[in-house]
Structure 1
């Protein structure tokens, strides 16, 4: 998904439609990402003097490791974005995150790669089952925790609890 600026200028103030697939081998160095199965990108480019406005729809399927079971699972990622490529700005300029400097060629691949990475979940699972526990910890329901917390009495307050219990028995 790469065009020279001279190719794009031929279509000034027209929408240049594009639709294609992109092969992304090494998406990121995250260990939970196994592979990028397919990435489909479509949208349009509008040429305006020194700016190129690109509206993109990205649909990708990423094979990741399940956060709980470590099995390989398919994670769909869908992103819509409006990006502006500008010839008059430089990399050192303080830019909006959707404005990119461009010289000679408009290459969408780095931007597509970045958009997918930013929209990937940090943890993803298809398992409905809660983890039972691990070394020195276990999962319990909130009600059980509250009941357990109520049953615990500070040893320093044990005598006061006995007085409270005895007062309740006198009232009955």
Structure 2
């Protein structure tokens, strides 16, 4: 996924198809990402004077640790992006987020790596069940909470009757 600018300039005002399979080693230093499968990179490169437009479609599977169980699970990623490469931008030119300077060679591998890393979810779990409790805690619904609030502790029943009596006297 690397081309020299002299190669690309031969295709001025034309398009080049990209269809590559890439295997990345270590992608990120995150502890929950255990590896990636084969990455498919497809797209087109459009050469326009001093600007190179690259339409990318990236499909890969990232192996991650489940957030709840720490089991190894596969997370499929499908990424579509349009990247712009500019030959020799001026020093004062501010480049947009998806605009990259290029001097001698166009290398898509760092861009593909970055797009995969940015699209990896922070938290993933394969179980769809909702946790309802754990050690010394449980989830309480709002209805149950109001029912519990209305119940009077038997030890406080006499005090509650005094409170009710005082409210009746004020009316």
TM-score, normalising length: structure 2: 0.82
Separation of aligned partners in 1, 2:73 and 2:49: 45
The equivalent residue for 1:79 is 79
Per-residue CA distance 1:122-150 (angstroms, 9 max, x = gap): 0001012334325xx63414336633663
Change (3 A) 1:38 1:90: farther
Unaligned segments of structure 2, at least 5 residues: none
Change (3 A) 1:152 1:67: farther
The equivalent residue for 2:103 is 103
Separation of aligned partners in 2, 1:149 and 1:5: 73
The equivalent residue for 2:42 is 42
Number of aligned positions between the proteins: 162
* 1:138 partnered with 2:143: no
Separation of aligned partners in 1, 2:87 and 2:117: 25
Separation of aligned partners in 2, 1:161 and 1:14: 90
The equivalent residue for 1:147 is 146
SS at match of 2:52: strand
User: Root-mean-square deviation (CA), in Å?
Assistant: 2.8
Contact 2:88 2:103 in 1 (8 A): no
Change (3 A) 1:3 1:143: same
Unaligned segments of structure 1, at least 5 residues: 168-172
Contact 1:36 1:61 in 2 (8 A): yes
Separation of aligned partners in 2, 1:116 and 1:65: 17
